[in-house]
């Protein structure tokens, strides 16, 4: 018995999952080019020559894409509700909290790739392999995690999108289930904190 999708409408599960892919593309693929582009053009050295703290530089690189990600999510939610007829039984506060946590992890991953590779081509390739493809294949969007081989299930614990798909589907179909949301938000924020720390540590003011 399906309590929250009695008609077994596939779009009720697929559309929120597709929104995760959109957010992953904006978060990881776009930010993967931010610092690598500046390293290639030589403008990053000039920026590092200023007295601005490195964490502030990293934070300012993330803010525009964070706003862009939230705006894209607003467009996706509008299309999902008005265009596809999805119910929205949760609150905007829960949606904002879930999306913000995922964007923190996704943007951090993209920026970490950008800072480590310092090359736009490599950044794009690594972002596809480490960010976009796992979000599509290992998040539970296309394939049920419980049906995957056990070693693959273990790998999914390292994919931030895994903790975004189920809360996003829940906020649409069920409502505010904070007992489900809060652990997922905490894990995604932990991913974001790790990536942010890694980016900050990888940026140095000395040039080899």
**3-state secondary structure string, 158-189?**
CCCCHHHHHHHHHHHHCCCCHHHHHHHHHHHH
Q: HSE on the CB side for 5, CA within 13 Å?
A: 14
The whole-number pLDDT of residue 60 equals 84
DSSP code, position 104: H
The whole-number pLDDT of residue 188 equals 94
How many residues does the structure list for the chain?
208
Q: What share of the chain is helix, strand, coil (3-state, %, to 5)?
A: 75, 0, 25
The whole-number pLDDT of residue 208 equals 53
Considering just the CA atoms, what is the radius of gyration of the chain in Å?
A: 18
The whole-number pLDDT of residue 125 equals 85
DSSP code, position 206: S
> Which residue positions in the chain have pLDDT lower than 50?
none
The whole-number pLDDT of residue 190 equals 95
Nearest Cα to 70, choosing from 42, 41, 34, 107? 107
DSSP code, position 49: T
Report the run of H or E that residue 77 belongs to, with start and end: helix 54-78
User: Do the Cβ atoms of 4 and 174 come closer than 8 Å?
Assistant: yes
The whole-number pLDDT of residue 187 equals 95
The whole-number pLDDT of residue 2 equals 64
Tell me, letter by letter, the H, E, C secondary structure of 124-146: HHHHHHHHHHHHHHCCCCCCCHH
Q: Flag whether the pTM goes above 0.85.
A: yes
């Amino acid at each position: 018995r399906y309590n929250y999708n009695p008609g077994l409408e596939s779009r009720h599960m697929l559309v929120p999952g597709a929104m995760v892919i959109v957010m992953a593309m904006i978060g990881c693929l776009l930010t993967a080019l931010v610092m690598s582009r500046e390293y290639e053009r030589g403008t990053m050295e000039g920026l590092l020559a200023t007295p601005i703290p490195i964490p502030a530089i990293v934070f300012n690189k993330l803010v525009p894409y964070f706003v862009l990600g939230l705006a894209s999510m607003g467009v996706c939610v509008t299309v999902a509700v008005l265009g596809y007829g999805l119910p929205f039984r949760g609150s905007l506060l829960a949606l904002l909290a879930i999306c913000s946590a995922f964007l923190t992890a996704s943007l951090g991953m993209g920026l970490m790739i950008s800072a480590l590779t310092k090359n736009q081509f490599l950044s794009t390739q690594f972002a596809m392999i480490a960010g976009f493809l796992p979000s599509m294949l290992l998040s539970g969007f296309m394939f049920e995690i419980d049906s995957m081989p056990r070693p693959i299930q273990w790998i999914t614990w390292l994919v931030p999108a895994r903790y975004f798909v189920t809360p996003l589907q829940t906020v649409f179909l069920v409502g505010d289930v904070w007992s489900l949301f809060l652990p997922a938000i905490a894990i995604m924020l932990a991913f974001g904190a790790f990536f942010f720390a890694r980016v900050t540590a990888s940026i140095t003011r000395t040039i080899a």
